[in-house]
Amino acid sequence: MEEDAIKPDSHKLLELGREVCAGGNTTIKFLRGSKGKPMMKDILENLMIERIAKNFLKAPHKLHEIHETDAELIDMGGGSDNYLAITTDALVEEITSGLYDDPYLIGWMLAMVNFSDLAAVGAAPLGLLISISYPPALNEAFMTKLTKGISDACQRLNTFVLGGDTNQGKELFLSGCAVGLVPKKSIIKRIGAKPGDKLYLTHPAGLGSVFAFLRLGKHDFKLPKLFYQPLARIEEGKIIREFASCCMDTSDGVIHTVDTLMRLNRCQFVLEDNWDQILHPITLKVCSAQNLPPWLTLAAVHGEFELCFTLSHDNEKSFLQEAAKAGWTPILLGEIIEGEGVRIRSGERLFPVDTALIRNLSEIAGSDPKSYINKLLEIAQKVEMQ
């Protein structure tokens, strides 16, 4: 990595880091490595979240700190056996960049991006609240397909649209809020992984990156029309919560997820290079045709809502048996060992991956998809694996 390539952003990063640390935020202290090495300061997005949240009082009925869970868990009191799981997400750059232009897919993704956070905490969904701001010129056919996508996604997960809000604005803007319930006796969060744990994915990955690469790069490659229509892994999450030591979804890509788990758990995450098992067949096909390193499809910020989770040796066998009963074959992604960082094992060698640089690329490149893709490819050239 050439230092002058990210010099302006390094200055911005330093300013944000000083501002957050000056506020005495306990999360920053918690995320320091075992030797006091600061890890949180490496990620621009995390620092922005800290800067936004530092003036908010923590609700006494909220269980966890910032970054610790995909969805917030709320103690409702009254002797309930469940926590309320609640989350919110919006579709913004995916629409403005042209990544999503099909109204049905936009609606589908609005629902799934929210329900995926529920899946990562093992929650059963109660439903979805939506907010739609639309330009006056938006035609009825577009809105019909949009709402059809939302409705079909909810039905696919056996849940409902509970209500929402509509407004008129200059551009289309969509946000959602998913709510669900999770048993108090079996909650799962992003913290809990230990050396010796195995790292798993719910299903093969890479479709999200391939979809973005083909769409934004304007590549002419024949694939099924809706080859990318991801599912929130609700049913898998219910099994995972009973056995796993930590869990997070891959909505922003597998590398983003693994990096976050590494920083929270202060362990080293080693990914295997068994790409034929880890990556979706369509992903492998596109990598071969476009001469892309397979691992790079785990790095882009656009993922596919799989769940990434860790299992102790004691729980692994029982978990796999339960998954088999449900007709599900989880994907072994790697393992957790002593140390810090993320590496890829190829044969007898371990190749370090600069996950901080990868995660900060979206900030460095701004809203320029071509620049973002080119910078990812530059990183790939520096991680040479035989």
Average pLDDT, the chain: 87
233 CB-near residues (< 8 Å, 6+ apart): 116, 119, 202, 203, 249, 305, 306, 307
pLDDT of residue 384: 57
Out of 130, 161, 184, pick the residue that ends a domain.
Answer: 184
Mean pLDDT value of segment 290-313? 93
For 305, list phi and psi in degrees, rounded to 5. 65, 25
**Cα(120)–Cα(122) distance, integer angstroms:** 6
pLDDT band at 272 (very low <50, low <70, confident <90, very high): very high
Mean predicted confidence (pLDDT) in 228-242 = 97
Given this model, what pLDDT does residue 361 score?
A: 86
Q: Are residues 172 and 194 in the same domain?
A: no
Q: Are residues 197 and 309 in the same domain?
A: yes
Residues 357 and 262 in one domain: yes
Whether residue 222 sits in one domain with residue 351? yes
CATH number (domain holding residue 313): 3.90.650.10
CB-CB neighbours of 195 under 10 Å: 12
Render pLDDT for 21-71 as a digit per residue (tens, 0 to 9).
444 443 333 333 444 443 666 888 888 898 899 999 989 999 999 899 999
Please give the residue that has the higher pLDDT: either 259 or 221.
259
Does any domain span residue 29? yes
Q: Are residues 321 and 347 both part of a single domain?
A: yes
- 183 pLDDT higher than 60: yes
| Distance from C-alpha of 122 to C-alpha of 186, rounded to nearest angstrom | 8
- Asked, for residue 67, whether it belongs to a domain, the answer is no
CATH number at residue 170: 3.30.1330.10
pLDDT confidence of residue 370: 74
pLDDT higher at 271 or 18: 271
81 and 218 in a single domain? The answer is no
291, 229: one domain: yes
* Domain match, 96 and 145 both: yes
Q: Is the pTM of this model over 0.85?
A: yes
Question: Is residue 127 predicted with pLDDT exceeding 70?
Answer: yes
Q: Choose one of 167, 184, 201: the last residue of a domain.
A: 184
- Continuous segment of H or E residues that includes residue 374: helix 369-382
- The answer on 284 and 140 residing in a single domain is no
Mean pLDDT of 265-288: 95
pLDDT in the model for residue 366? 63
Please tell me whether residues 208 and 331 are part of one structural domain.
Answer: yes
- Residue-wise pLDDT for 317-373, tens only, equals 999 999 999 999 999 999 999 999 999 999 989 999 989 989 898 777 766 777 787
Q: Which amino acid, one-letter code, is at 252?
A: D
Please give the residue that has the higher pLDDT: either 149 or 46: 149
> Residue 170: is its pLDDT beyond 70?
yes
Query: When comparing pLDDT for 81 and 217, which is higher?
Result: 81
Asked if pLDDT for residue 20 goes beyond 90, the answer is no
Residue 5: predicted pLDDT: 32
23 and 10 in a common domain:
yes
Number of structural domains found in the chain: 3
Q: Check residue 1 and give its pLDDT.
A: 31
| Residues 111 and 223 grouped into a single domain | no
Residue 252 inside a domain? The answer is yes
* Tokens linked to 113: 């991006």
Range of the domain at 325: 188-382
pLDDT value of position 342? 94
Residue recorded with tokens 């907010």: 131
